[in-house]
Amino acid sequence: MGKLTMSVDEVANELGVSKTTIYTMARQKEIPHTKVRGRILFHKPTIEQWLITNTVGGETNEH
């Protein structure tokens, strides 16, 4: 089993945004996170689900 959590660096890397953006999003409660002894951590499965849930557009109309 792999790691369950991701750091700010890892999430920024995965999303292709700056660490500052991730810190801002966490502070404004725009991205699900937890704090452990002052460190911001992200639960990997929750972030993956958050990405799916917050995806806009790209719907296909299959008949």
Render pLDDT for 37-58 as a digit per residue (tens, 0 to 9): 999 999 999 999 999 998 888 6
The residues spanned by each domain of the chain are 5-53
The number of C-alpha atoms within 13 Å of 14 and in the hemisphere containing its C-beta is 13
Which residues, in sequence order, are CB contacts of 50 under 8 Å at separation 6+?
31, 32
Q: Is the pTM of this model over 0.85?
A: no
